[in-house]
Amino acid sequence: MPELPEVETARRGLAPAMEGATFTRVKINRPNLRFPFPDNFAVRLENCQVREVTRRAKYLALYLDNEEVLVMHLGMSGSFHVEKLDTENIDGESLHHDRDRFAIHDHVIFYLENGKNQFQVTYNDPRRFGFMDLINSDQLANHKYFANLGIEPTGNSLDGECIRDLFTNRKAPLKAAILDQKLIAGLGNIYVCEALWQAGLSPKRQAKTLCTSSRVAKIRADKLADAIRDVIARAIEAGGSSLNDHRQTDGTLGYFQHRFNVYDREGENCNRKECAGNINRIVQSGRSTYYCGSCQK
DNA sequence: AAGTGAACCTGAAGGC
DNA sequence: TGCCTTCAGGTTCACT
């Protein structure tokens, strides 16, 4: 699931429960996710206080008071569920309708308290492509997870000039270039398709075609940068997209999926006003690309 | 070096 | 009803 907006949504759900709170107990229900848990994972966390819950690209990084950082990636199907444990809601009528059914995939349970409240944070991940690791904070920036990450598509730093720098001499299709985490970090298959539609650019066009000195190339690069920032910002605002089981940490659904213009809309009409085309599905680098062949050039 | 496709794992959906 | 195939939000590794 989780592309940058979903991870940011998870971060915003975790922060109120975890920042300033201390791990009282950590329970792992299997020896590994995508990778084995680091040695003594639970013991190293217990009694640590969380200073800050941060996000970089699709990674969550929780800074702890012992100078370690809990790094977590949600893979394809990871999600968190936060429950406040209080006297009136001992058994927490969960908003997760199918929690029981998926409880076998509750691989990690964090218990925390902040002197006032107690929280249970459950990590669920059916496909187990996610992972967790503990890294010293002074090694974080140079760690393999983070060292090669590209620019963050949030804020205003990603602009047309930046895209032209990144895509210079790139022969790969534009779709593949935008998906490359070493160039721009955080976009996944859905939001790449959406951003390309919004910019009116074909996913099949070579990335370097936005880098010529022509006026039209510069305009295209500007439009693409604007579209990427806008799609990501709107998706974060909407609480991410909920496909299948994906929910926000309080169990409610994100709703950005109701605004998809191309993703998973094969055969349907293009949503652009003056466009009479419909949405095609092709496979690029082994993954589905959805786009309008009429208005994306 | 850069680009492509398979692999990792489980569940849902569709065809027969 | 069941069995089979295909596909899914990500990343990494092996290969051209």
Domain ranges of chain A: 4-147, 160-292
Catalytic residue among A11, A44, A56, A58: A58
Q: What is the mean pLDDT of residues A20-47?
A: 97
Asked if A233 and A156 touch (Cβ cutoff 8 Å), the reply is no
pLDDT for A244: 62
Full DSSP string of A82-116? EEEE-GGGTT---S-TTHHHHGGGEEEEEEEE-SS
CA of A101: nearest nucleotide by C1' is B11
Ranges assigned E (strand) in chain A: 22-28, 50-56, 59-64, 68-73, 79-85, 106-113, 118-124, 131-136, 279-284, 287-292
Tokens 């907006």 correspond to: A5
Percentage, residues of chain A above pLDDT 70: 93
Distance of A244 CA from C5 C1′ (whole Å): 20
CATH number belonging to the domain at A160-292, selected among 3.40.640.10, 2.10.10.90, 1.10.3720.10, 1.10.8.50:
1.10.8.50
**A78: three-class secondary structure by DSSP:** coil
A36 is an active site residue: no
Nearby residues of A226 by Cβ (< 8 Å), 6 or more positions away: A160, A199
Q: H-helix or E-strand containing A176?
A: helix A174-179
pLDDT band with cut points at 50, 70 and 90 for residue A90: very low
Show the tokens assigned to A117.
């409240």
A287 is an active site residue: yes
Strand C lies under 7 A from the Cβ of residue A73: yes
Question: Domain A4-147 belongs to what topology?
Answer: N-terminal domain of MutM-like DNA repair proteins (3.20.190)
pLDDT band with cut points at 50, 70 and 90 for residue A273: very high
Show the tokens assigned to A141.
């920036």
Strand B lies under 7 A from the Cβ of residue A127: yes
Distance of A165 CA from C10 C1′ (whole Å): 25
Q: What is the mean pLDDT of residues A18-34?
A: 97
- Global pTM reads 0.95
- Report the mean per-residue pLDDT for chain A: 92
Does A42 score more than 70 pLDDT?
Answer: yes
